[in-house]
Structure formats: structure tokens, C-alpha cells
Amino acid sequence: MKSKMNWPVIVEIPRSIPSANQLRRKYRHPFAYKTLRETWQAEIYCKIRPEVRAQIERFVLKEKPKMRVLIQLTKPRLYDLDNFVGGCKPIIDSLRKLGLIHNDSPHWLDLQVEQIQRSKMRAFTKIEISPVEVV
């Protein structure tokens, strides 16, 4: 299938990812975690134009490609790597629920994470989505 998509699809969310420690403590209750995931899901949904979102959903549903997701967090104070990677779970779950990735297992997902420290900026998260093999 020839896709007319311009990869990667980039989404910028003006919020920080919770750390894995915060997920374990603050979002331990299933409804609290569900609210967090649905918040990320709504923000990602709103940031991608409807026609682009529909095109990605059709592509993922039909082709079932391995997708590359880069999650880049920019904030004044960095997390430990394990806290950062664990905190990406709500984003990955949201991408799966929205149909932007087929599955979150390593067979279907190439997850890359990166942190950038900037002292004078508010925290924001940048998500880049693209197939591993560009179509």
C-alpha cells in the first residue's frame, strides 16, 4: 500500500510524563490510572488532525506495521531512566487505544525514549510516531 503520509507524525503535549514512582503511588487505584490514560488519550487525539488520524488508523489496521515511537520529555529536572521509561506507559496505552499502534509488545513497537534538560522551560512531551520501515 502506498501511503501518502508524511512520517513521522509529531504530537507535542504541554505536560510532563509522570514518573514510574508517581504511577505506583498517585495512580495506584485503577480509576486514577484510567483518568490519567484518558487525559493523555484526549490530548493526543486533539493534537492530530482528523484526516491524518484516520489515515494512520487505516494504515495500522490494514498493514499491521511495526511502529517506531519516540517519546521526548523536556523539563528542568530529569528523571532516572527507569522512572522515565515506566512513566511512558500511559502514553503507549493511549496510542494503542487510539489505534495509532497495533500492539505495545516489542514485536510491534520500537520504543525510543529521550530526555532533554532545559532549566527555563515548562515541561512538555513530544511524541513522534512512524513505521519502522517507511512506506
Residue 102, domain member (yes or no): yes
Residue 89, domain member (yes or no): yes
Taking 50 as the threshold, does the pLDDT of residue 1 lie above it?
no
Residue 1, domain member (yes or no): no
Q: Which of 87, 76, 100 is nearest to 25 (CA)?
A: 87
Q: Which residue has the higher pLDDT, 1 or 5?
A: 5
Residue 73, domain member (yes or no): yes
Q: Could you give the residue ranges of the DSSP H alpha helices within 16-63?
A: 20-25, 30-47, 50-63
Cis bond upstream, residue 8 (ω within 30): yes
Q: Which domain holds residue 96?
A: 9-131
Taking only the tens place, the pLDDT of each residue in 105-133 is 999 999 999 999 998 889 999 999 999 98
Per-residue confidence at 101, pLDDT binned at 50, 70, 90?
Answer: very high
**In the chain, how many domains are there?**
1
CATH number of the structural domain spanning residue 67: 3.30.1330
Residue 110, domain member (yes or no): yes
pLDDT the model gives residue 119: 87
Taking 80 as the threshold, does the pLDDT of residue 4 lie above it?
no
Q: Which of 109, 26, 35 is nearest to 66 (CA)?
A: 109
Residue 41, domain member (yes or no): yes
Taking only the tens place, the pLDDT of each residue in 23-76 is 999 998 889 999 999 999 999 999 999 999 999 999 999 999 999 999 999 999
C-alpha cell at 127: 511524541
d(CA 55, CA 65): 14
pLDDT the model gives residue 134: 62
Mean pLDDT within 66-94: 96
Q: Check the CA dihedral 64-100-21-17 and report its sign.
A: positive
Residue 2, domain member (yes or no): no
Mean pLDDT within 100-109: 96
Residue 4, domain member (yes or no): no
Q: Which residue has the higher pLDDT, 98 or 6?
A: 98
